[in-house]
A and B are shown apart, each in its own frame.
Chain A
Amino acid sequence: MTTLLFGALWVNLAQCVLLTGAFFLLLLAGPPATDFMRQWEERVLSWARWLVVVALASGVTVLATQTGLFEGRPEAALEARAIWHAMLDTRPGFIWMVRHGLLIVLAAFLFLGGDVTARQNWIAARGEAFLLAVLALVFLGSSGHSAASSESPWPQANDMVHLLGAGIWVGGLAPLALLLYGASQHAATPDPYAVRTMQRFSRVALVTVLILVGSGIVSAWLLVGGVAGLVGTTHGHLLLTKLAVLVPALLLAAASRAVLPTLSSPTAARPSATARRMALFIAIEAGLVLVLLGLATAMTLTTPARHDNPVWPWSVRISLDTFREVPVLQRLVQRPIELALVGSGLAILAIVFLVRRRPILLFGTLFVMVAGGAARGLQPLIIGAYPTSFACPPLSYTAGSIAEGMAVYQEHCASCHGTLAADREVPRGSAVDLLAPTTARRSAGELFWLITHGRPDRGMPEFETLLGETQRWHVINFLRAFGTTTDQRRVGAVVELNDAWLIAPDLTVSVGPLTPTPLSDYRGKRMVLLVLYVLPGSRARMTELARQYGTLSILGVEVVAVPPRSAPEAIAELGQSPPVLFPVVTDGNEDIAAAYRLFVPGAAHAELLIDRQGYIRAIWGSDQTGMPEADAVQAQVERLDEERSPPPLPDDHVH
């Protein structure tokens, strides 16, 4: 079914592209002034009639197969009711109706024909056909990946521009090859109108290719994201293949452009032979771009790389994180040989440039220096990598996941990698310290690989058989939270403006049987004062908070109180005078406490101020900073409100 859909989509896209290009070329050539041009136009129009019929037939096949896939049963592809439902009730169906409605009008125009001897009639007929073909082509951009993955109209507009560029360049090649081949057959010099058309197309094609490259880069940025997506996913591989096919097509185009002046030069020998050769180049180019269209169609049927889990193909990758530990200058001083090499290279370059200003010497020396420097200098940036290095964790960064991970860590990992106690033991034997910067530099996917497959060379066993996949990801969420506890940056009782880095793990605010609310629901709306309280020690502070709640609420702060254990009677325990009106969590408390106590160790009363973006910005622990006072908390809330440029919303997954 998918193969049939692919074939039908490819044919449909190719027909629309060819129709657009054919009518664009006819308009570019202008009303035919010679018999040869008239014959060529008639041939192109005859092609166009077939193209529009094939486009409509392939379109019907696309709709039927898509219906079968939507419904999840192949027989639905032949059921009128199911097809009708897909047409009227889905966005791709609606766009299909618009596009094929336009193609039907175009078909009517082409088959009814008419007298186009008058110039304005000719322009109206060809212009109308071009407009209809363009609309039928560019609306494809409204049902692609860009339309599905973004609500913004700009990615769709970019896709539409890309399709229009493809229509003009790619679609114009076949009729152009026909024009040049025909023009070279009958006389020693090609028809001047054909040459003029070729020259005009060459200029337009140059601009169109630049637009195609630009819109292609934007599209790749939006759908592929990065190198990992490019080399590690099917979508990325298709894009790379597309680029590999594009290069020879562009080389052929450049070759045609290079010999173009000889077509119209009065001194050129055998211009007709040149035209035949160009026609051959352009025909091959047209064949290559049809393959490109096939690859583009296949890309629309694969998951975009940005939303796929890439499989890193190499055993190494480049990481700039090493610079975080050692400043650049210090690193340079540590490498006298490289410094000497670069110094002598610069000296040679200066001498060469002063003595003989030859660009080849200049660029040659520069190339040797850059290549040599890169070979030596990149070495410390290269670190080991695994197939899952860029995998995105399937689990969100939540308190529940961290707590699960902590339990698994204590059972399976702590004996070698050290416990969680404040005076934690040094890792045993050759085990790695998981709080060391080298571990923090590892991506989540790499940690997953190491936990899954172990490090036999260091005596670490594999945990693939012992732990489920979910448990392994829980451990990674825990390691990321645990890792922040050794960060040199600290979060204290005073908000550091414009320095948000400690992400608050998501948690579920469950109050009795009421519908639970995730903490992330407050993002972009309200700050949260997370209160980890312990009775009876926190009684006075809770009473104060109950009284202050109205003021905090007006300041945009929601108070979420979390007792250490899950208990339905938690609200009743706080009493009703003054009434406690903020949410008091009655379920999942142990997980919340386990995760958040990593940031504020101990068992005493603690409060964490979480900003509107979801970062922890201030922490008060009664056994470290003393019991927070109402005015102090309010002052920090007002300080956060002063922040001019709030940080971006944090990612829901660790990396």
Chain B
Amino acid sequence: MRIWQVAILVNLALAVGLGFGYGTWGRRLTTLDGAVKTSQAQVEQLRREREACFAGGRFGEQLWEGRGIVRAVYPKLLLITHEEILGLLPARTTGFRLADSANHGRAHAGDPIRFWLQGTGYDNNMLVRMEAW
């Protein structure tokens, strides 16, 4: 084989090696990273569903835990400035519907509380329990 052919082959091998390397390991790494995150989210969801089940929830319901400060108390609603609620909401101020069991009569504006939300998702949840933070 002539040297110019060897040179072309070497360059091709480098380029193809790089391309295949990214195509197999690089892309697989990205896919695996995504799969790990999805699995972690699923594990978290299962954990929350199990906790909801222990708390008497129905099939498919989850239980989220949050921490925040009460900003306003209404008969069926509590406005809370809360930290991030993992798997549900970022840190912000949100109004949560109250379950009868929540015993919110003791909450006042400015109170720091830990609270638990039960439901199936962002648009279907209810504050079921709270305690002083």
The residues of A that contact B7 with a CB separation of less than 8 Å are 124-125, 127-128
Whole-angstrom distance between the Cβ of A414 and the nearest chain B Cβ: 38
Whole-angstrom distance between the Cβ of B106 and the nearest chain A Cβ: 13
Asked whether, in the complex, the Cβ of A124 is within 8 Å of the Cβ of B81, the reply is no
Asked whether, in the complex, the Cβ of B71 is within 8 Å of the Cβ of A572, the reply is no
Instruction: Report the count of interface residues on A (CB-CB < 8 A).
Output: 34
The residues of B that contact A573 with a CB separation of less than 8 Å are 110
Instruction: Report the count of interface residues on B (CB-CB < 8 A).
Output: 28
CB-based nearest A residue for B1:
A114
Asked whether, in the complex, the Cβ of B83 is within 8 Å of the Cβ of A576, the reply is no
Q: How many angstroms from the CA of A333 to the CA of B69 in the assembled complex?
A: 67
Asked whether, in the complex, the Cβ of A114 is within 8 Å of the Cβ of B112, the reply is no
Asked whether, in the complex, the Cβ of A105 is within 8 Å of the Cβ of B110, the reply is no
Asked whether, in the complex, the Cβ of B83 is within 8 Å of the Cβ of A128, the reply is no
The residues of A that contact B3 with a CB separation of less than 8 Å are 114-116, 121-122, 124-125
Chain A CB within 10 Å, residue with most, of B83, B109, B112: B109
CB-based nearest B residue for A114:
B3
Flag whether B133 is at the interface (Cβ < 8 A).
yes
Known: A572-B108, A572-B109, A576-B73. A105 touches B6 (CB 8 A): no
Flag whether A569 is at the interface (Cβ < 8 A).
yes
Do most interface residues of chain B lie in helix, strand or loop, or is the interface mixed? Answer: mixed
Flag whether A384 is at the interface (Cβ < 8 A).
no
Asked whether, in the complex, the Cβ of A579 is within 8 Å of the Cβ of B71, the reply is yes
Asked whether, in the complex, the Cβ of A571 is within 8 Å of the Cβ of B71, the reply is yes
Asked whether, in the complex, the Cβ of A128 is within 8 Å of the Cβ of B109, the reply is no
CB within 8 A of A512: which of B4, B8, B11, B69?
B69
Q: How many angstroms from the CA of A581 to the CA of B72 in the assembled complex?
A: 8
Flag whether B14 is at the interface (Cβ < 8 A).
yes
Do most interface residues of chain A lie in helix, strand or loop, or is the interface mixed? Answer: loop
The residues of A that contact B89 with a CB separation of less than 8 Å are none
A563-587 interface bits toward B, Cβ cutoff 8 Å, 1 = contact, 0 = none: 0000011111111110111010000
8 A Cβ contacts from B45-85 to A: 67-69, 71-73, 79, 81-83
Whole-angstrom distance between the Cβ of A323 and the nearest chain B Cβ: 49
CB within 8 A of B10: which of A115, A128, A572?
A128
Flag whether A109 is at the interface (Cβ < 8 A).
yes
8 A Cβ contacts from A91-122 to B: 105, 109, 114-116, 118, 120-122
Asked whether, in the complex, the Cβ of A123 is within 8 Å of the Cβ of B112, the reply is no
CB within 8 A of A581: which of B2, B81, B83, B110?
B81
Can you list the 9 inter-chain pairs with the closest CB atoms, starting with the nearest?
A124-B4, A579-B72, A572-B110, A571-B110, A124-B7, A128-B7, A576-B109, A121-B3, A576-B72
Which residue numbers of B lie inside 8 Å of A, CB to CB?
Answer: 2-8, 10-11, 14, 67-69, 71-73, 79, 81-83, 91, 93, 108-112, 133
Contacts A/B (CB < 8 Å), 10 sampled: A121-B4, A123-B4, A128-B7, A128-B11, A131-B11, A511-B69, A513-B67, A514-B83, A577-B72, A581-B71
13 further A-B pairs in the complex, CB-CB below 8 A; given A114-B6, A581-B72: A118-B2, A120-B2, A121-B3, A121-B4, A123-B4, A124-B3, A124-B6, A124-B7, A125-B7, A127-B7, A568-B110, A576-B109, A581-B81
